[in-house]
Chain A
Amino acid sequence: MRLSSLLTSTARWGRAGFALGALALLSGCDYNFWRMDGHQSTITVAGPVARSQLEVFYVTCWVTLVIFILVGGVLAYATLKFRAKNEAEEKAVPPEQGHGNPLIELGLIGASVLALVIIAIPTLKGIWYTYDVPEDRKADTYEITATGYQWWFKFEYPSEQIAGTGALTTGNELVIPAGRPVRINIRTIDVIHSFWVPKLAGKVDMMPNRANFLWLQADEPGYFWGQCAEYCGDSHAVMRFRVIALSPKDFADWVAQQTSPARNVTPKPGEETPKAQFASLRTFKQNETGITDKYEIAPLEAWKAKQFPEKGENAALIAQGKALFASKTCASCHEVRGHGAAGISGPNLTHIGARSMLAAGLIENNAEQLRRWIRDPGSVKPGNKMAKGYLDNNIKLTNEEEVALVAYLQSLK
């Protein structure tokens, strides 16, 4: 542990004490946590599966709340009523040494069983409903396979076959059609992970040697937060993903774009030499957040904007980046379909430029963050395989090479 950071925290405690009272009472949207409407809320849900799970939760909540008030009330009453007020009362003749009352016991046992039956009925209904897509909607179901890797997610679309390469494959951003049931096959390549998009459905574990699945549905187009929910090693906390639900037409457009090969940007004659400024990258703090406000306010719009080529692309720089992608051995782990890169152990990068996030939902996909990521992946995501790959292959990137790679990757729309 770093002592300096402990000291920093210590200095914060003083302020912390003052802030606490205000914090609990005043409400900025961030502070009143009891609203529970965050991006990963299980309360403000957006689909039928999560809604059904929420309804069961509410039943358990109300039943136990009523019991708590009744039993707690009696307990509080007994404690206050029979409390010895002074020493004389403590020492008074002991009360009647009664050993209990079977009728009261039986009555209370019966009441407890009844309360549990009230919970059991919706529970059983919920277990069957949330397990698989209802029969009458099976025909309309869209199927996707999600595979967990340490520490990212691969998504395959078996119904979108590409000649010569197989199913359409993406990483870390699951795009689904809104308003349709989606059945997701849950797989893992290494350890146990868990697939969890709280607003759409409860989690199902990605178990080795086990063909798990779940179903979910987004009622409306939207942008949803997901996260691995089973401890899976060093970077478990930053193994995240996003789900983007699109209207049927948008979804069809997206599939059309994704199934086409990687975009080519060819420099015009005479523009072969890159003319970019190779500024050095600022230093980032440990665990520094990589998300901007623009993205935070309207993530779906930010995502949609990423589908179009960036302004002011530098074709020469992109061409240089494309060459580096091969020479720096990126291509041995990553696939860029149509550009000769066919690695499979890392995420498919054919359309990386069109994703809103990088490093498994951890940092925003912009030039600065992308460069931060490829410069030192290990500091962004502890223990990850790309950092290890750099070490194993003794890969070092100059400022110029970083900028070229960034330009190339950003051009892959």
Chain B
Amino acid sequence: MEAILKSDLHAKDTHAPAKSAIFWRPTAQTGLISWLTTVDHKKIGFLYGVFALFFFLVGGFEALLIRLQLMYPNGTVLTAQQYNTMFTMHGTTMIFLAVMPLSAAFFNFIMPLQIGARDVAFPRLNAFSLWTFVAGAIVINLGWFMHDGAPDGGWVGYAPLTSKTFAPDHSIDMWVMGLQLLGVASIAASLNFIVTIINLRAPGMTMMRLPVFTWMTLITAFLIVLSFPFITIALVELMMDRLFGTSFFEVSNGGMPILWQHLFWVFGHPEVYILILPAMGIVSEILPTFSRKPLFGYPIVVFSGASIGFLGFSVWSHHMFTTGMGTMATAAFSLATMAIAVPTGVKIFNWIGTLWGGHISMRTPMMFALGFVWMFMIGGFSGVMHSAAPADAQQQDSYFVIAHFHYVLIGGSLFALLAGIHYWFPLMFGRKVSEFWGKLSFWVIFAGFNITFFPMHFLGLNGMPRRTFTYDANLGWNAANYIATIGALILGVGIFIYFAVMVYTFLKGEKVGKDVWDARTLEWSLPNPPPEYNYRVIPTVHARDAYWYNKQHKEEIAQEEAEHAKAEAAHGGIHMPHQSIYPFVASLGLFIASIGIAVIDHDPSPGFWGKKIGLSMIGGVVMLAGIYFWALEGNEGYHLHPDDEGHAPADKKAAQH
């Protein structure tokens, strides 16, 4: 935080006064208001990261309780109901509140820097995405503090278990409305990223010169935009069933619970790639940097990412092999699922090709990235085993599946995200994590992870079903469960070391200069931490791995930059957008309305529905007010004129844009 704030000091006293009292433009540079009103993609990315890491720790704590309950047969740490709540919230939290927003943190912070942009295309929409995400996260977790309790319908929320008949309290309503808000946040953010990547690339940054992480951001954003509408529909239908007595999933009136599964997994399978593609992008940045070589087969890595995105929409029913789809559908989805292994395998070959012949520096980010490749391979192979439908009939909903997707999501997504934090930490905060502590945390996490999840393959093959709060001692599951719990505790220690070291480094770590890894992409050409306007001069890109090229052609680039700086100064300096409170207001409105819809009881007295409708309407009005004021306050900004050291006096009067 300190580091980010410092970047603002360069632009001290430079903000124009507000235009009018109604359309008040906040100018606070420190304190709560500055964070609530920020439109700077780096600050927003930082906030995404902070919230994601908080929920990551919450989800991790839930996981530890789950493992303690299963440490011994007939465990009594949790009751059945508490256990069911834990695994529901663990899944929901880790997927929607930890891994996705952590990816979003990188999209926000890194992607605009990688394409040589000064911000995302719609800075205020970006703030709206952030605060709507926070609102959704709060709504989902409200149940912990209420009589109804947190949701316990499983993260997949299969109808009819989530219907009013079988889940009469409000916990499922909170789950539904929370997920809806997260969907709004994700779609808004993704549209923003798509427009940014298509439109705000620096001159010369052609699509086939985009850094792979930016490519994966683009593909992920498209996946989110295309897949979230399905779960939105499913959740609306479930909400209608629960609140208004419709019969989408109501069996007694001819509703079809299988419909929920199709809608959920048409979203849910692309979601898997939404979680893993950013990770693949991060690894595709780290491996070349630390091998000091370009990515092997760049176009094939990009196209395989895109084809994973396409194929990801054609395999959803492999989550439903046991629902009785019949032979032909089962065979089709089985083969489509196998097909997706090809582009995935191609990525692994290319990562190995990148290492081949390189000068590999074994730094902490590289350790996590290599750990990712190994663990993701194992997760991929157990995925191939699932694709064979007859084998999956035994593995489905057993601990074998648990092992598989934790290899993909922890060994895959999380390892890459942890690698990314280490990798970009010097750029974000100007400090570097100690190699010793970084590597130590890697090895503890790596060991703990494998001790936890490898035995689960055996548990699954030995017939242990998932989502079970207890098991008998006579089934041959005791040892594996015991070892898994010990592993989980080791993993917990590893994560603790990792974050303790991060916090320490953030406050007191070794300060480093620019481009500490001798990296290849544009963001490393910036001073650290990057100033609020990012690039003093918008760079011109001459090659893939643009910054590497620039470092090889220092003189030409310096000359070119000087010319561009002059042109830009003549043009009026760097245009910066004003801060705004209205995105936050709009999100707050959504939050209030969700509470009204999800939490307030129907009032049975004559003033029928008064409180519920009332609160929802208030929320709606606040949201609309936020959006109108947001539109009417205009998109003005101000200009900065940074000198060669990056100090930036600005115009005294607001620029009319």
A residues at B contact (CB < 8 Å): 1-2, 5-6, 9, 12-13, 16-17, 20, 23-24, 29-43, 50, 52-54, 56-57, 59-61, 63-65, 67-68, 71-72, 74-75, 78-79, 82-84, 89-90, 92, 94-102, 104-105, 108-109, 112-113, 116, 119-120, 122-124, 126-131, 150, 186, 190-192, 194, 196, 198, 201-205, 207-210, 212-213, 225, 227-238, 285-289, 291, 296, 382-383
Contacts and interface: CB of A to CB of B under 8 A. Distances in A.
A225 B158 contact: no
Nearest to B167: A233
27 contacts: A16-B486, A24-B479, A39-B463, A56-B390, A57-B390, A57-B391, A64-B381, A64-B384, A78-B356, A79-B355, A98-B294, A99-B294, A100-B350, A100-B353, A101-B296, A105-B346, A123-B390, A129-B390, A150-B166, A194-B322, A205-B324, A207-B257, A208-B257, A210-B258, A231-B466, A231-B467, A233-B161
B483 A20 contact: yes
Given A57-B388, A202-B390, A383-B81, 14 more contacts: A38-B476, A39-B463, A57-B385, A57-B394, A60-B385, A82-B355, A95-B357, A101-B296, A116-B342, A190-B166, A209-B255, A212-B323, A231-B158, A233-B161
B462 A43 contact: yes
A100 B257 contact: no
Given A116-B341, A234-B81, A229 B397 contact: yes
A168 to B, nearest CB: 25
A5 B324 contact: no
A40 B463 contact: yes
A71 B377 CA distance: 9
A94 B75 contact: no
Nearest to A202: B393
A385 B255 CA distance: 25
Nearest to A238: B470
Interface string B308-336: 00000000000000111011001100110
A237 B470 contact: yes
Contact of B346 (A23, A63, A65, A108): A108
B78 A108 contact: no
Contact of A207 (B297, B324, B377): B324
Contacts of A105: 297, 300, 346, 349-350
Contacts of B76: 2, 5, 285-287
Given A20-B483, A234-B84, A289 B393 contact: no
Nearest to A295: B474
A66 to B, nearest CB: 10
Interface of B: 65, 68, 71-84, 154, 158, 160-161, 166, 251, 254-258, 291-300, 322-324, 326-327, 330-331, 334-335, 338-339, 341-342, 345-346, 348-350, 352-353, 355-362, 370, 373-374, 377-378, 381-382, 384-385, 387-398, 455, 458-459, 461-480, 482-483, 486, 489, 544, 548
A89 B335 contact: no
B388 A119 contact: yes
A195 to B, nearest CB: 9
A56 B330 CA distance: 15
A124 B77 CA distance: 44
A126 B224 CA distance: 35
Closest 10 CB pairs of A and B: A202-B393, A40-B463, A38-B476, A126-B390, A237-B468, A100-B297, A212-B324, A64-B381, A57-B391, A382-B80
B390 A30 contact: no
Contact of B356 (A72, A82, A122, A190): A82
A228 B465 contact: yes
A24 B391 CA distance: 28
Contact of B357 (A2, A98, A191): A98
Nearest to B153: A231
Given A96-B357, A203-B397, A237-B467, A30 B479 contact: yes
A61 B256 CA distance: 36
B388 A6 contact: no
A209 B322 CA distance: 15
Nearest to A150: B166
B617 to A, nearest CB: 34
A112 B358 contact: no
B454 to A, nearest CB: 11
Contacts of B291: 82, 95
Contacts of B474: 39, 289, 291, 296
Contact of A237 (B294, B327, B396, B471): B471
Nearest to A361: B472
B480 A33 contact: yes
Given A33-B462, A128-B327, A237-B471, A95 B359 contact: yes
Given A75-B373, A94-B359, A289 B322 contact: no
B353 to A, nearest CB: 6
B359 A82 contact: yes
A225 B463 contact: yes
Given A9-B77, A208-B251, A78 B355 contact: yes
Contact of B458 (A33, A53, A60, A101): A33
Contacts of A84: 359-362
A114 B294 CA distance: 29
A37 B467 CA distance: 22
Contacts of B71: 9, 12, 16
Contacts of B82: 1
Contact of B342 (A35, A109, A237): A109
B377 A72 contact: yes
Nearest to A53: B390
Contact of A127 (B294, B334, B360, B397): B334
Contacts of A16: 71, 482, 486
Nearest to B86: A1
A198 B394 contact: yes
Contacts of A186: 324
Contacts of B352: 71, 74-75, 78
A281 B83 CA distance: 28
Contacts of A198: 394, 463
Contact of B465 (A60, A102, A124, A227): A227
Nearest to A80: B360
Contacts of A89: 359
Given A98-B296, A108-B346, A116-B341, A289 B73 contact: yes
B346 A109 contact: yes
Contacts of A53: 390-391, 393-394
A207 B300 CA distance: 42
Contact of B160 (A57, A92, A192, A231): A192
Nearest to B468: A237
A108 B390 contact: no
Contacts of A231: 84, 154, 158, 161, 397, 466-467
B349 A202 contact: no
Given A13-B489, A38-B476, A124-B331, A190 B160 contact: yes
A161 B219 CA distance: 60
Contacts of B385: 57, 60-61, 64
Contacts of A209: 251, 254-258
B259 to A, nearest CB: 10
Given A33-B480, A234-B80, A237-B469, A68 B338 contact: no
Contacts of B362: 83-84
B158 A192 contact: yes
A90 B483 CA distance: 40
A162 B124 CA distance: 73
A201 B180 CA distance: 39
A207 to B, nearest CB: 6
Given A1-B65, A39-B476, A100-B300, A112 B342 contact: yes
